[in-house]
Amino acid sequence: MDDLYRDYILDHYKQPRNFGELEPHDLEAHDHNPLCGDEMGVHIRVRDGKIADLRFHGQGCAISQAAASIASEEYVGMPVDDVGQLDADWVIDLLGIPISATRRKCALLNLKVMRGATTGDASWPE
Amino acid sequence: MDDLYRDYILDHYKQPRNFGELEPHDLEAHDHNPLCGDEMGVHIRVRDGKIADLRFHGQGCAISQAAASIASEEYVGMPVDDVGQLDADWVIDLLGIPISATRRKCALLNLKVMRGATTGDASWPE
Amino acid sequence: MATSATTPRLHVRSDFPIFAREIDGRPLIYLDSAATSQKPAAVIEAMDDYYRRHNANIHRGVYTLAQEATDLFEGARERVAAFTGAETATTIFTRNATEAINLVAYAWGRANVGPGDVVLITQMEHHSNIVPWQLLCQGTGAELRYLDVSDEGTLSLDQLDAELAGGRVKLAAFAHISNVLGTINPVAEMASRVRAAGALSLVDASQAVPQIPVDVAAVGADFYVWTGHKALGPTGIGVLHGRRDVLEAMPPFLGGGDMIRVVDWQESTWNDLPWKFEAGTSMIAEAVGLGAAVDYLGELGMENVRAHERALAAYALERLADVGGVRVIGPPDPDERGGVISFELEGVHPHDVAELINRQNVCVRAGHHCAMPLMRRLGVPATARASLGPYNDASDVDALVEALVNAKKVFA
Amino acid sequence: MATSATTPRLHVRSDFPIFAREIDGRPLIYLDSAATSQKPAAVIEAMDDYYRRHNANIHRGVYTLAQEATDLFEGARERVAAFTGAETATTIFTRNATEAINLVAYAWGRANVGPGDVVLITQMEHHSNIVPWQLLCQGTGAELRYLDVSDEGTLSLDQLDAELAGGRVKLAAFAHISNVLGTINPVAEMASRVRAAGALSLVDASQAVPQIPVDVAAVGADFYVWTGHKALGPTGIGVLHGRRDVLEAMPPFLGGGDMIRVVDWQESTWNDLPWKFEAGTSMIAEAVGLGAAVDYLGELGMENVRAHERALAAYALERLADVGGVRVIGPPDPDERGGVISFELEGVHPHDVAELINRQNVCVRAGHHCAMPLMRRLGVPATARASLGPYNDASDVDALVEALVNAKKVFA
Ligand SMILES: Cc1ncc(COP(=O)(O)O)c(C=O)c1O
Ligand SMILES: Cc1ncc(COP(=O)(O)O)c(C=O)c1O
């Protein structure tokens, strides 16, 4: 079996969870990976300070799409204020595959837009 | 004896002929050697279409000063229209020493200002 | 299988030291020459020799080393100019093609472009031939307009005429060969129409100089730019060929050492061409390397390089059809395109394609190739791109095809 | 004879391949490091290795070679930043020091300087730190003003205060070490006074980085620039260190690949620092070479380089007095000057000095040293200049002195 493109990665890529738009929504952000042109947006609905629902959208590689899909299941139910505390390792551990330096931004794009939507900080997670 | 700094070169350097200013004068020009910062000007008095008298002035190395001094003796009496016909080889032959690529502009500066004064063409002689 | 491709005309791989390298015991399949070329030993050694034996600053030194360095540098300029059919004095060394275009946009543009004027570019330009014009237009109130790219990846001369007929175009800038589509544009014809309309033209030949015989005088553009590292030369050097009268009328771009004649307290006068546009210490070793690169290409013969890459591209187009699910972008006729092949593989994002085939040491680029507007026009987020150099042969294409077949399996 | 100089602290000549070269059977006496330095084998080999084993375009490549090239390039940036005590993200690679200064003059200058504002420089600046400001002032209606140079070759802090008190200074630019006088300016003090007056400062450290330990953070200037080829590195690369907030607020300079985030039809957004200011393909091999150069200098220890060159300069000042008719320009105290010694030889034009001593393979520079305004201030048409590198020792000074004695004889 492939180290990177494991079955669950390909499964999330082909059938991404929480994918699409969400209208109405309370928070949103949109961003790019300047290295490859991938783009990703998010719509978030908030209830009682928690993420009640969310949808990612955009285009990207298997790693960025699978990462968004897998992470989306963690984001739902999370206090909005906690998103800003998440770091790069959190996403990478969640993915459970070896991420090279070049693919790092693919994996982190979902967290970047989530932080953009919730804290306004649009820098790359470290 | 030195190949380049021959006695007559040093003599012309130390006691340059036709050196100074000439007031009044009919033609003049002033120029630089951008490589070393040498500068040279000339004042020319014209009678009957010929160079009746001239003076060089400025600061420069032995080669540029000696070349101006030696050439000045040729310029006097020359029809003004002939100056534009003179080429680089004319000066270099006149000097009678081996001129390397780096010192070429030193040797040619006097002809450059002469051509500038008589024809308005301030390009380097070729 | 095209026999012309399986018997390539050039056999030069051994001139390029990098191919001695193996990664995980496998040879390198380098198909990314449109991003940067590999370098023949002659180029590397020329720079090495420069640093080991002749290194000195140029132009103002009296001593032997400085004279040697000056001769090496200016000699390289002469050979570079001769290689592209340009004049030596109007052959200006820049940092790369990008800086060459910015030089024109700043020095010529800020002095000649104003509100209501049009700068005309095309939808297939590299960012380096887009962003400088955006900045110029934003700074001057001019309008940036685009020539369309057809579904086949070509430009329309009729649309060019229509734009020029508007009478507002001051400068038109276009690629000689597209770095994404491979399209070879009719640049001489375009430059002549632009000139007839009283406008200036700039040709971005970054992909052309390494791939086809070029003749700057015959193209007849006002500016013709390219970049050393794609033409078997080093990084850190590019070339701007300009028309003498245009360059002479232009104010300088960067100010500093070497580009001046006299510096006074409040103002300065400028050196002759080409030095007027070369501020500060030049890319001396890089010029020496680029001189060696054009010598090498000249010995191969650019007709041979073109024939070799054309045959190989034709072979690649044929073989890619075998993979199944590959969609090639750009002109289908190998006579109308260079050795740059962008493609999509159904169901697999280009980034994943590149990652997967790298496991077999096949090096291709994936992404927007610095041409985001073109990606938008084509309606794709990114493409994978295989591009050829004189060192490639049919075995590289075969390796690409095999790697793509394997990549498809992972995503099946 | 100073024993400290005859027993130099560094013995590194054999690290520099060029000294294996003989011309007419004589060794090379290289005393022109202020124009450009010689390169240690480690620098030449690092670039060689890059081209032979790792060459690929950076930042957007997925394959192994591209990752290696990216790591080599960005790794070099980290080491360069660490070497000068600067942040990595605010360490921008330029073509040379000249381009770094022009970058500031264009991108920061055009956005922040207007009619009535003052740009303040000094009479001892290199053309590269004069002409960009002339162009800026001419383009914006600002006024260019100069701090005087004293007869000893120094600046006056009082005059700086007086200029700043005028309230119109927007930016002050000055050399860390003069390339003609050797003067080491009190740049940290100057930058702090400039900052207190609400203006920005730019330090031209082209001569300082190769000669003395520098700490960009401690100097505290807004911009700190230098050039690779004088610091044992290759041609074609320079460095701009900037303050983060200033760089972030600045518009970009050159537009093109790599410096963008998103390119749309009419406008673009910019990449993060440092890439926002690095348009087009970078000087990849050159960065690798510069990384090797700072590693090498770091191993020597810049305190040792300074001590070595200080002792040697002191020895040279002493020995030059023996020649008779030599007038040295600049501060007499070796503690206040770097290893740059400009001088006049009575009765012999500097150009002839350089020519004559070249016959003994002694390489010095003669001319205005790209500092015409300073020549005017000093009242000399030109000077001869001997300048030191870590590879020089007392024997080089002795050879210079002997050659000067011979030169005098020719003109006697
Ligand atoms: C003090 C000083 N500033 C600037 C420069 C310009 O450096 P570069 O020509 O590498 O841009 C030099 C050297 O030429 C210099 O000595
Ligand atoms: C068509 C085209 N134009 C311009 C460039 C820019 O070249 P450079 O990055 O060397 O300036 C490239 C390559 O990157 C290119 O392919």
| Cβ distance of D67 and A100 shorter than 8 Å | yes
| Residues near ligand 2 (Cβ within 6 A) | C 96-98, 126, 128-129, 175, 179, 204, 206-207, 227, 229, 238, 370; D 257, 280-281
One-letter amino acid at C240 equals L
Residue D159 host element (H or E): helix D157-165
Ligand nearest the Cα atom of residue C338: 2
The two three-digit tokens of residue C114, written as one number: 């104003």
- The minimum CA-CA distance between C249 and chain D, rounded to whole Å, is 16
Report chain D's mean pLDDT, rounded to a whole number: 96
The two three-digit tokens of residue A113, written as one number: 């837009």
Please, which pLDDT band fits residue B1 given cuts at 50, 70 and 90?
Answer: low
Is A94 in CB contact (< 8 Å) with chain C?
A: no
**Preceding peptide of D210 cis, ω within 30°:** no
Collapsed DSSP state (helix, strand, coil) of residue B58 = strand
| Cβ distance of D271 and A34 shorter than 8 Å | yes
How many Å lie between the centroid of ligand 2 and the Cα of residue C242? Answer: 18
Lowest mean pLDDT, pick from A21-35, B105-119, C188-202: A21-35
Of C355, C382, C410, Cβ closest to residue A37: C382
Please, which pLDDT band fits residue C8 given cuts at 50, 70 and 90?
Answer: low
| Cβ distance of C375 and A37 shorter than 8 Å | yes
Distance CA D192, CA D196 (A): 6
Distance CA D180, CA D158 (A): 23
Distance CA D270, CA C131 (A): 10
Q: What is the mean pLDDT of residues D200-213?
A: 98
Cβ proximity of D50 and D72 under 8 Å? yes
Cβ proximity of A33 and D271 under 8 Å? no
pLDDT digits (tens, 9 = 90+) for C143-154: 999 999 999 999
| Cβ distance of C67 and B35 shorter than 8 Å | no
Cβ proximity of D27 and D18 under 8 Å? no
Of C355, C367, C410, Cβ closest to residue A35: C367
Alpha-helix residue ranges (DSSP H) falling in D118-156: 131-140
Please, which pLDDT band fits residue C4 given cuts at 50, 70 and 90?
Answer: very low
Distance CA D263, CA C406 (A): 34
List chains adjacent to chain B, taking adjacency as at least 3 C-beta pairs closer than 8 Å: C, D
Q: What is the mean pLDDT of residues C46-53?
A: 98
Angle ∠(B20,D372,D108) on CA atoms, nearest 5: 150
Alpha-helix residue ranges (DSSP H) falling in C220-369: 244-249, 284-300, 302-323, 350-358
Angle ∠(A101,A103,A104) on CA atoms, nearest 5: 65
pLDDT score recorded for residue A7: 94
List chains adjacent to chain D, taking adjacency as at least 3 C-beta pairs closer than 8 Å: A, B, C
CATH architecture of B7-119: Alpha-Beta Complex (3.90)
Residues counted in chain D? 412
Collapsed DSSP state (helix, strand, coil) of residue D145 = strand
**Preceding peptide of C334 cis, ω within 30°:** no
Q: In C, which residues are within 8 Å of A62 by CB distance?
A: 348-349, 351-352, 411
| Cβ distance of C281 and D229 shorter than 8 Å | yes
**For an interface test with D, which of C51, C72, C126, C387 has the most D Cβ atoms less than 10 Å from its Cβ?**
C51
Question: DSSP string of C175-192?
Answer: ESB-TTT-BB--HHHHHH
Distance CA C113, CA C106 (A): 10
Please, which pLDDT band fits residue A32 given cuts at 50, 70 and 90?
Answer: confident
By CB atoms closer than 10 A (0-12, 13-18, 19+), residue D166 is exposed
Please, which pLDDT band fits residue D6 given cuts at 50, 70 and 90?
Answer: very low
Question: Which of the residues D66, D370, D372, D375 is marked catalytic?
Answer: D370
| Cβ distance of C256 and D102 shorter than 8 Å | yes
Predicted ipTM > 0.90: yes
Cα C388 vs. chain centroid, distance in angstroms?
13
Distance CA B70, CA B94 (A): 8
pLDDT score recorded for residue B62: 95
Cβ proximity of B122 and C270 under 8 Å? no
Closest CA to C390 of C272, C318, C293: C293
- The minimum CA-CA distance between A11 and chain C, rounded to whole Å, is 10
| Cβ distance of A32 and D262 shorter than 8 Å | yes
Nearest atom (ligand 1) to Cα of D178: 1
Count of other CB atoms within 10 angstroms of residue C218: 11
Closest CA to C312 of C336, C340, C332: C340
Nearest atom (ligand 1) to Cα of D177: 1
Please, which pLDDT band fits residue D207 given cuts at 50, 70 and 90?
Answer: very high
Distance CA C244, CA C24 (A): 52
pLDDT score recorded for residue D8: 56
Pocket test for ligand 2, best of C206, C232, C368 (most atoms within 8 A of CB): C206
Alpha-helix residue ranges (DSSP H) falling in A16-121: 62-75, 80-83, 88-95, 104-119
How many Å lie between the centroid of ligand 2 and the Cα of residue C230? Answer: 8
By CB atoms closer than 10 A (0-12, 13-18, 19+), residue C352 is buried
Ligand nearest the Cα atom of residue C371: 2
**Preceding peptide of D381 cis, ω within 30°:** no
| Cβ distance of C18 and D53 shorter than 8 Å | yes
By CB atoms closer than 10 A (0-12, 13-18, 19+), residue D301 is middle
- Tokens 């093609």, located at residue: C97
Is C135 in CB contact (< 8 Å) with chain D?
A: yes
pLDDT digits (tens, 9 = 90+) for C264-295: 999 999 999 999 999 999 999 999 999 999 99
pLDDT digits (tens, 9 = 90+) for D195-205: 999 999 999 99
Q: Name residue C175's beta-bridge partners.
A: C204
pLDDT score recorded for residue A3: 87
Question: Closest chain C residue to A105 measured between Cα atoms?
Answer: C351
- The minimum CA-CA distance between B100 and chain C, rounded to whole Å, is 9
Cβ proximity of D356 and D164 under 8 Å? no
Domain segments of chain A as ranges = 7-119
Of D352, D368, D411, Cβ closest to residue B37: D368
B36 has pLDDT over 80: no
Cβ proximity of A28 and A81 under 8 Å? no
A71 has pLDDT over 90: yes
Is D101 in CB contact (< 8 Å) with chain C?
A: yes
Please, which pLDDT band fits residue C302 given cuts at 50, 70 and 90?
Answer: very high
Domains in chain C, CATH or no CATH each = 4-39+304-411 (3.90.1150.10), 44-298 (3.40.640.10)
- The minimum CA-CA distance between B57 and chain C, rounded to whole Å, is 18
pLDDT digits (tens, 9 = 90+) for D175-198: 999 999 999 999 999 999 999 999
Cα D125 vs. chain centroid, distance in angstroms?
11
Please, which pLDDT band fits residue C141 given cuts at 50, 70 and 90?
Answer: very high
How many Å lie between the centroid of ligand 1 and the Cα of residue D227? Answer: 7
The yes-or-no reply on D/A contact (3 CB pairs or more, < 8 Å) is yes
Count of other CB atoms within 10 angstroms of residue C327: 12
C3 has pLDDT over 70: no
pLDDT digits (tens, 9 = 90+) for C158-177: 999 999 999 999 999 999 99
Q: Which residues of C are catalytic?
A: 370
Count of other CB atoms within 10 angstroms of residue D171: 25
Please, which pLDDT band fits residue D397 given cuts at 50, 70 and 90?
Answer: very high
Report the predicted TM-score, pTM, of the whole model to 2 decimal places: 0.96
B17: left (phi over 0), alpha (psi -120 to 50) or beta: beta
- The minimum CA-CA distance between A113 and chain C, rounded to whole Å, is 18
Chain C interface with A: residues with Cβ < 8 Å: 348-352, 355-356, 366-368, 372, 375, 381-382, 410-411
Q: What is the mean pLDDT of residues B76-104?
A: 94
Determine which residue's CA is closest to atom 7 belonging to ligand 1.
Answer: D97
Query: What b/e readout covers B67-101, taking b as 16+ CB neighbours within 10 angstroms?
Result: bbbbbbeebbebebeebeebebeebbeebebebee
**DSSP E strand stretches across D325-379:** 326-329, 340-345, 362-363, 365-367
